[in-house]
Amino acid sequence: MNESITRNADARRIQSFIAAAFRACGMPEGNAARMADLMSEADIGGQDGHGIFRLPQYIRRIRAGGMEVDPKIEVISERAATALLDGGNGPGHLVMSRAAEIAMEKAETTGVAWVGARYSNHAGPAFLYSRMPLAKDMIGLYVAVGSANHMPPWGGTDLLLSTNPISVAVPSNARPPVVLDMATTVAAYGKVKTVADKGGTMPEGWMIDKLGRPMTDPTKSAEGLLLPIGGPKGYGLSLIFGILAGTLNGAAFGRDVIDFNADPQTTTNTGQFIVALNISAFADVAEFKAQVDEIWEQMKSSDRLPDVETIRLPGERLAETTAERRANGVPIAPALRERLDKLADELGIDRL
């Protein structure tokens, strides 16, 4: 049956579907459950390009021998406040969950910890990992080398850089945590893909072609160049984050980055890092959280430009979308549902 309308899927159903799909590919139960937790959290949080949307691609990679379902994730070098993980070519979700655990454990005593990873893979949206330290009253900071290069250096046309996202999460008290989750490009490539899926056009300013002309057709994005925020500044951020998350960890960066959309087989050697910063090493935790609430109030109560209805904080929409989708389910576009149905049939599991 071909459908033409977007229907919602229950969040728990998305979770069980993802787990079943991975189990059907030979992934151990615990790993599959972890993947399902995190990927469904991406959907529930509104990151439509980074949750179940990626499932067919991950499965394709696993079946092509390009990603391990039971990776050996090892600490290959360690100091009191740092660790470098070899992810064993496992899904980034498993690698960076482990990295976050180690970072939190270390920061408990040292005050801060920085854990990098090599031989990881795409890990979904950055906020999944920056939020993890919140449970321990820590601030989380996560940076990844993007899993495909769609951005040139400023002034160039060779695709040497990715969106290299950054996310920082800061706990609050009564208000939602402040969660910044941003690409260093005006638009993340996943966003371009979801616009293409919905049959829309991109606003000018997201991409240009190799002659520098604005590009608005998302189906042509493979020939386009993503634009960095603030011109050379976003390029600089992307370059620096790439060095920190990639090169420093012995992971791919620049020309070494494998386009995981185009090539399901080659080991990507994706690099990421997470920092856990223990609030109690600097401040009284309760007092700090109350101050973050106070910052919310300050920003929200600012006078506004004409025609602006409300001022938002990073993490506000995430909290709203999460509440709304937990109650009402996650919208699944027809094109995606079709791909997921096909995948279910291939794997011999129940359709979503």
Which residues in 297-316 contact its own copies (CB under 8 A)? 298-299, 302-306, 308, 310-314
Give me the least distance between CB of 60 and its own copies, in Å please: 29
Instruction: Tell whether residue 171 is a contact of its own copies (CB under 8 A).
Output: no
CA 310, 313, 317, 319 dihedral sign is negative
Give me the least distance between CB of 331 and its own copies, in Å please: 23
Of 248 and 344, which has the nearer Cβ to its own copies?
A: 248
Give me the least distance between CB of 135 and its own copies, in Å please: 18
Instruction: Tell whether residue 186 is a contact of its own copies (CB under 8 A).
Output: yes
Instruction: Tell whether residue 257 is a contact of its own copies (CB under 8 A).
Output: no
How far apart (Å, rounded) are the C-alpha atoms in residues 252 and 248? Answer: 10
Residues in 130-169 that interact with its own copies by CB under 8 A? 139, 152-158, 160, 168
Of 255 and 262, which has the nearer Cβ to its own copies?
A: 255
How far apart (Å, rounded) are the C-alpha atoms in residues 96 and 84? Answer: 11
Asked whether 272 and 144 are in contact (CB, 8 A), the reply is yes
Instruction: Tell whether residue 265 is a contact of its own copies (CB under 8 A).
Output: no
Give me the least distance between CB of 138 and its own copies, in Å please: 11
Question: For 65, what's the count of Cα atoms within 13 Å in the CB-facing half-sphere?
Answer: 1
Residues in 89-118 that interact with its own copies by CB under 8 A? 109-114, 116
DSSP output for 108-130: HHHSEEEEEEEEE---S-THHHH
Of 35 and 183, which has the nearer Cβ to its own copies?
A: 183
How far apart (Å, rounded) are the C-alpha atoms in residues 273 and 96? Answer: 8
Instruction: Tell whether residue 255 is a contact of its own copies (CB under 8 A).
Output: yes
Instruction: Tell whether residue 278 is a contact of its own copies (CB under 8 A).
Output: yes
DSSP-derived 3-state class of residue 75: strand
Of 218 and 228, which has the nearer Cβ to its own copies?
A: 228
The contacts of residue 188 (CB under 8 Å, 6+ apart) are 49, 163, 165
Residues in 214-253 that interact with its own copies by CB under 8 A? 229-230, 232-234, 236-237, 239-240, 243-244, 247-250, 253
DSSP-derived 3-state class of residue 227: coil
- Tell me the backbone φ, ψ of residue 151, rounded to 5 degrees: -130, 135
- Tell me the backbone φ, ψ of residue 182, rounded to 5 degrees: -140, 150
Instruction: Tell whether residue 351 is a contact of its own copies (CB under 8 A).
Output: no
Binding mask 22-61 for its own copies (x = CB under 8 A): ----------------------------------------
Residue 107: name the closest of 133, 146, 78, 141 by CA: 133
